[in-house]
């Protein structure tokens, strides 16, 4: 990937005038995605062993948006750390583009729940951080940064510092800052958590737009079923801890998608009912094991079923 | 820039008319009246207020100050003290900031230097005066050295604290985007520590003024004292000299000059600090 980028930037003439932001940047469908096979992760030893991930297998298909949804505390964050390479699986393998993952790498970008924008840099400088860190402050990268600024609606805020941006703007800036590095796989860990309902919806629209424009291979973790259906090409429904894939649901709704269409679409509602049913079963299991978090979900599910 | 100036002027205009402004005026006026009445209590009321009656009245101090500002020797003293403060403070910044950063970044370096640093830190700068007079070849250097110590420890402690307090997520984010160690130092650690450096410098310069005056008093005003005449050895020496000469109004005038000088240097540093850390102020 790194080599490919360097070759690309060599091919482009260094003294070319700044390219208009509408110029398309070759991004789509690089690599062969990620394959997780028979991954198990346990913490501790002896009597205190806790198995978090058990014999888990799935693929993050190239050029597709894979959403993972599961009961809270099921081990999603552990899976993200494994995919990112911050931790190694106890057994099983994770490969990216056919090569095994052995640590953090530039081929994967992780966007976490909390923003980690650098407070001392403007929006533009934050977005250009990655390219500059690798000595790629080229006209191409600059025009790509322009394009991303427009796509996330921060064109007028390029000189503002993160503290001067709203919560939603900060998340968008962070998405752009990851996107510019053109990773083979983008990994997003509940990126819109903690935003109010209106902002969250706006963010989902921005994000869907961004994805539909570039079609980067993406792994998106959420606990919000509506978000999952609106964004996903494929949904992985996870079991209770120790987690593995319970079911894979293909979401073949046409793109570009609009939030209003999704709420009225019959196919989308069918997917939602199926997913909720599976999640309910998993919630019952974790409730039986004493999880308090699952109780709220079960209550909500029961009320919903009573209404229909 | 124009907008900023406008905002500032409206802010100032708002302050001038406001409640806080009038409270401030009343407080200062009351303080001055009490002081004037206290120091003239024997003449006005026929009995002496304790303590306050020994202090020259503000009107008398004002007269003395008016005379002083016309004398070149006073300005020479003020200049000498300012120069020493600047020398000591500058040296403390130049040595303290890299040292603090190195101590924060390297566990090994920290392990070696911190114990020595922590033993030396509690020693008051003034306790160094006799030793530094012996060690340094000139009085001037001895005073500058003691001044340096006043700011040095504060700056180092602030730099270490500031660099350590940088959020781990910034390092992770930078690493995952391909930053080298040098890049992380230059673009994460340095700007991340800057606010603490500013705080350390602002506090440090205040201590520097406190130390320089005392050092001048103890050491007899340094080698320059003999050149510029009786009041030629810095503001500290000037105050001491006024005391020896029995000119009490000059003592208070000297004290006020130091207060003003300290305030001006802190304000100046705060201004420079704000300019260097725009992400903290612009909201």
Question: Touching check for A81 and chain B: CB below 8 Å?
Answer: no
pLDDT band for position B195 (cuts 50, 70, 90) = very high
Distance CA(A139)–CA(A19), nearest Å, equals 7
pLDDT of residue A308: 66
Residues within 8 A of B (CB atoms), A 16-45 only = none
- A164 CB neighbours in chain B (<8 A) are 282-283
A22 or B177: which carries more pLDDT confidence? B177
- Domain assignment present for A205: no
CB B132 within 8 Å of CB B145: yes
Q: Do B279 and A130 touch (CB under 8 A)?
A: no
Minimal C-alpha gap between A179 and chain B (Å): 11
Inter-chain touch B174–A161, beta carbons under 8 Å: no
pLDDT in tens, A130-166: 999 999 899 999 999 999 998 888 999 999 999 999 8
Instruction: Locate all alpha helices (DSSP H) within chain B, ordered by sequence.
Output: 2-17, 19-39, 41-45, 58-68, 72-105, 107-120, 129-135, 139-164, 168-176, 181-184, 190-219, 234-244, 248-276, 278-281
- Per-residue confidence (pLDDT) for residue B45, from 0 to 100: 84
Determine whether the interchain pair B178/A118 forms a contact, defined as Cβ–Cβ distance below 8 Å.
no
DSSP chain A: -HHHHHHHHHHS-TTPPPPPTTSPP--TT-S--EEEEEEEEEES-GGG-EEEEEEEEEEE-TT-EEEEE--TTSSHHHHHHHHHTSS--SEEEEEETTEEP-S--TTEEEE-SS----TTS-HHHHHTHHHHHTT---HHHHHHHHHHHHHTT-GGGTTS-GGGS-HHHHHHHHHHHHHTT--SEEEEESTTTTS-HHHHHHHHHHHHHHHHHH--EEEEEES-HHHHHHH-SEEEEEPSSSB-EEEEEE----SS--HHHHHH-HHHHHHHHHHHHHHHHHHHHHHHTT-SHHHHHHHHHHHHHHH-
Among B176, B197, B198, which would you mutate to test the A interface (most chain A Cβ atoms within 10 Å of its Cβ)?
B176
CATH of B56-278, one of 3.90.800.10, 1.20.120.140, 1.10.3720.10, 3.30.70.3270: 1.10.3720.10
Stretch A99-118: mean pLDDT, rounded?
84
> β-strand A65-69 against A234-238: which pairing, if any?
parallel
CA distance A198 to B97: 46
For residue A100, being part of any structural domain is answered with yes
User: Dihedral, CA atoms, B203, B205, B211, B217, nearest 10 degrees?
Assistant: -140
Q: Do B178 and A130 touch (CB under 8 A)?
A: yes
CB contact under 8 A, B178 and A133: yes
Highest mean pLDDT of the ranges A28-32, A105-109, A112-116, B24-28 = B24-28
Report if residue A146 sits inside a domain: no
Report the gap between the CA of B165 and the closest CA in chain A (Å): 14
- The minimum CA-CA distance between A296 and chain B, rounded to whole Å, is 31
> Which of A87, A108, A113, A120 should we substitute to test contact with B (largest number of B Cβ atoms within 10 Å)?
A120
For residues A96-111, average pLDDT: 86
Whether A122 shows a pLDDT value over 90: the answer reads yes
ipTM of predicted complex: 0.76
Residue A152 lies in a domain: no
Lowest mean pLDDT among A26-40, B196-210, B221-235: B221-235
Query: Is A20 within the bounds of a domain?
Result: no
CATH code for the domain in which residue A293 is found: 3.40.50.300
Q: How far apart are CA B264 and CA B255, in angstroms?
A: 14
What pLDDT, on a 0 to 100 scale, did the predictor assign at position A67?
Answer: 94
- Residues of chain B contacting A181 with CB distance shorter than 8 Å: 177-178
Q: Are strands A65-69 and A217-222 parallel, antiparallel or unpaired?
A: parallel
Tell me how close the Cα of A131 comes to any Cα of chain B, in angstroms.
Answer: 8
Q: Chain A contacts of B283, Cβ < 8 Å?
A: 163-164
In the prediction, which pLDDT does B26 show? 94
Q: Are residues B191 and A118, on separate chains, in Cβ contact within 8 Å?
A: yes
Which is more confident, A3 or B248?
B248
Q: Look at B176 and A112 and tell me if their CB atoms are within 8 Å.
A: no
Contact A129 B177 (CB under 8 A): yes
- β-sheet with A217-222: strand ranges across: A108-111, A185-189, A217-222, A65-69, A234-238, A245-250
A18 occurs within a structural domain: no
Has residue A246 been placed in a domain?
yes
Average pLDDT over every residue of A278-305? 80
Query: Searching chain B, which residue's CA lies closest to the CA of residue A123?
Result: B279
pTM score, whole prediction: 0.76
A182 domain-assigned? no
Number of structural domains in chain A:
1
Q: Which residues of B touch A121 (CB under 8 A)?
A: 191, 279
How close is the nearest chain B Cα to the Cα of A118, in Å?
7
- The pLDDT tens digits of the residues spanning B70-90 come to 988 889 889 989 999 999 999
Q: Do B175 and A104 count as a contact with CB atoms less than 8 A apart?
A: yes
Q: Which residues constitute the domain of residue A67? A: 31-107+187-193+210-308
């Amino acid at each position: 990937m790194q080599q490919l980028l360097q070759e690309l930037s060599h091919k482009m003439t260094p003294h070319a005038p700044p390219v208009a932001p509408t110029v398309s940047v070759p991004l789509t469908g690089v690599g062969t995605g990620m394959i997780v096979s028979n991954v198990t992760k346990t913490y501790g030893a002896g009597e205190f062993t806790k198995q978090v991930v058990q014999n888990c297998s799935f693929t993050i298909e190239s050029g597709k948006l894979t959403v993972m949804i599961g009961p809270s505390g099921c081990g999603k964050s552990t899976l993200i750390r494994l995919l990112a390479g911050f931790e190694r699986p106890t057994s099983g393998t994770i490969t990216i583009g056919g090569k095994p993952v052995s640590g953090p790498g530039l081929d994967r970008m992780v966007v976490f729940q909390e923003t980690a924008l650098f407070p001392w840099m403007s929006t533009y400088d934050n977005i250009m951080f990655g390219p500059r860190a690798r000595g790629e402050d080229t006209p191409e990268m600059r025009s790509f940064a322009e394009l991303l600024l427009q796509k996330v609606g921060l064109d007028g805020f390029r000189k503002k510092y993160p503290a001067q941006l709203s919560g939603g703007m900060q998340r968008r800036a962070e998405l752009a800052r990851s996107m510019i590095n053109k990773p083979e796989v983008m990994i997003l860990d509940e990126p819109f958590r903690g935003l109010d309902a209106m902002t969250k919806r706006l963010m989902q629209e921005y994000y869907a737009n961004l994805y539909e424009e570039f079609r980067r291979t993406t792994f998106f973790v959420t606990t919000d079923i509506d978000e999952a259906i609106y964004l996903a090409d494929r949904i992985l429904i996870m079991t209770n801890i120790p987690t593995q894939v319970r079911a894979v649901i293909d979401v073949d709704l046409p793109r570009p998608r609009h939030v209003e269409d999704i709420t009225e679409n019959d196919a989308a509602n069918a997917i939602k009912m199926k997913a909720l049913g599976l999640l309910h079963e998993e919630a019952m299991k974790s409730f039986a094991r004493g999880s308090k978090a699952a109780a709220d979900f079960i209550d909500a599910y029961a009320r919903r079923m009573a209404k229909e | 820039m124009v907008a900023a100036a406008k905002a500032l002027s409206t802010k100032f205009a708002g302050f001038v008319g406001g409640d806080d402004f009038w409270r401030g005026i009343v407080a200062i006026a009351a303080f001055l009246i009490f002081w004037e009445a206290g120091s003239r209590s024997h003449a006005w009321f026929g009995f002496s207020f304790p303590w306050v009656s020994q202090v020259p009245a503000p009107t008398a101090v004002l007269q003395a100050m008016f005379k002083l500002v016309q004398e070149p020797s006073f300005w020479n003293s003020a200049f000498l003290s300012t120069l020493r403060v600047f020398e000591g403070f500058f040296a403390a910044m130049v040595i303290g900031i890299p040292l603090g950063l190195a101590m924060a970044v390297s566990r090994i370096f920290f392990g070696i230097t911190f114990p020595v640093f922590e033993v030396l830190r509690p020693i008051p700068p003034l306790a160094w005066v006799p030793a530094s007079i012996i060690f340094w070849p000139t009085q001037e250097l001895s005073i500058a050295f003691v001044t340096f110590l006043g700011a040095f420890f504060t700056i180092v402690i602030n730099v270490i604290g500031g660099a350590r307090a940088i959020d781990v997520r910034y390092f992770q984010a930078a690493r995952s985007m391909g930053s080298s160690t040098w890049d992380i130092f230059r673009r994460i650690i340095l700007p991340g520590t800057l606010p603490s450096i500013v705080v350390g410098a602002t506090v440090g310069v205040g201590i520097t003024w406190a130390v320089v005056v005392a050092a001048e008093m103890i050491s007899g005003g340094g080698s320059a004292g003999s050149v510029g005449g009786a009041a030629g050895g810095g503001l500290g020496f000037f105050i001491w000299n006024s005391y020896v000469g029995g000119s009490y109004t000059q003592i208070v005038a000297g004290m006020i000059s130091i207060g003003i000088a300290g305030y001006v240097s802190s304000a100046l540093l705060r201004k420079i600090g704000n300019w260097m850390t725009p992400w903290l102020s612009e909201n």
